[in-house]
Amino acid sequence: MEEIARFLINKICRISLIGMFPKIVILAVLIFSCGLPPQEKAMSILKNGLDDKSSVVRVNAAKGLAVIGDGWGYEVLYKILQGEEKEAIVSALIALRDLKEKSVAPIILKLCSSNDPLIRTEAYHLLATIPDTAGYKILVQGTTDKIARVRRYAYQGLERFKDSKRITQGLKDTDPIVRIYAARSLGLLGDREAKEFIKKEMDPKNPNPDVWAQAAIALAELNDTLSIPYIKELLTDTPWDLRIGAAHALLIFRNPEGIRVLKEGLKSADPFVRVKSVEVIKEFPLLEFYEVLKDACKDEYINVSVNAIEALRFYGKKENLSLFEKLFSAPNPLVRIAAATAYLSQTRGDR
């Protein structure tokens, strides 16, 4: 770029009065007109996103800043949590969970009591993943919440408090997935009967794909290697939700047989299957997924492309940088933000 700029300056200086101006000024103008350097362009995408009309865009821009180590991103997310905009609050809670927040702020505990079911659910989901003992009483309250997903996360969170007596109550819950979450927590605390309890939830007379998928994942998290042959059978001739759940479980076991299913899922004509597949793939940055992820970055369904971009940054390949840079000019702001975050994260070594 500098060589081109110098050539143009010399040409202009010979043929016009512009030669009266200092060459360095003209060089700066020409370089600027050619566009910002990639890192500066990426930062401008994130910072401009904070002023977007869309709450989802603002949250993703703040999340991007947090990913690259900019504390401003966290400040924006917590400020959003204190606001009144429902969609923004829910998005910010999910973002903090993705960022693996490590401490329980008072606002998170407050949102666990929100009258809005979705806000309350995501607040509990976040609380259950934070390695901080400050939320014990709130988690206990969550075990009797009328929303089943809240009860799931409450029993998940209580595992770190080793409250086996309280968690055991969850085995009698009316919701089968809540029962699985409770059994999983007990299994992680050393309960030898938990695995068998979870297997019984996979009732052949009532083959609920969601229940069976959660059961397979729970068994994998409890390292029940005896269940691997059965889980492999779920990869064939079953609904996509169950196939993806089974593949997820096998990857937890470090068994490669689920890879094929997830790659097929990412190429499915159904965008929801592609989203669920890429969300699992993002947790396991295996080389086998690399090429399909590059293709998925261009997916017309935004949730697929954004997740694929986020997944690619964990590979740390230099060739990705040019791909991310091209996506700086993508039509959708969420794609631009994901690409900018990935570019900065990889160049700064913050993966």
Sign of CA dihedral 207, 210, 212, 215: negative
CB burial readout 12-26, b (16+ within 10 A) else e: beeeeeeeeeeeeeb
- Residue 35, pLDDT score: 66
pLDDT at 294 over 80: yes
Query: Mind listing the pLDDT tens digit for each residue in 60-83?
Result: 999 999 999 999 999 999 999 999
Under the banding of pLDDT at 50, 70 and 90, the label for residue 24 is very low
Position 36 confidence tier, pLDDT thresholds 50, 70, 90: confident
pLDDT, position 22: 41
Q: Which domains does the chain have, with CATH numbers?
A: 1-35 (no CATH), 202-284 (1.25.10.10)
- Cα–Cα distance, 227 to 212 (Å, whole number): 12
Task: Please tell me the distance from the alpha carbon of residue 186 to that of residue 192, in angstroms, as a whole number.
Answer: 9
Which tokens belong to 71? Answer: 């504390």
Are residues 157 and 128 in contact, defined by beta-carbon separation less than 8 angstroms? yes
Residue 7 pLDDT greater than 90, yes or no:
no
pLDDT at 205: 80
Confidence class of residue 30 from pLDDT cuts 50, 70 and 90? very low
User: pTM of the prediction?
Assistant: 0.87
Q: What percent of the chain has pLDDT over 70?
A: 89
What was the pLDDT predicted at 207? 83
Structure confidence at residue 11 (pLDDT): 40
How far from 349 is each of 69, 111, 231, 315, CA to CA, in Å? 10, 34, 37, 11
Mean pLDDT of the chain: 90
pLDDT in tens, 159-213: 999 999 999 999 999 999 999 999 999 999 999 999 999 999 998 887 899 999 9
Residue type, 235: L
- Please say whether the beta carbons of 153 and 142 come within 8 A: yes
Is it the case that residue 114 has pLDDT exceeding 80? yes
Q: What is the per-residue pLDDT for 1? A: 41
Residue pLDDT, tens place only, 212-265:
999 999 999 999 999 999 999 999 999 999 999 999 999 999 999 999 999 999
pLDDT computed for residue 86 by the predictor: 97
Three-state DSSP class for residue 8: helix
Q: Calculate what percentage of the chain has a pLDDT beyond 90.
A: 85
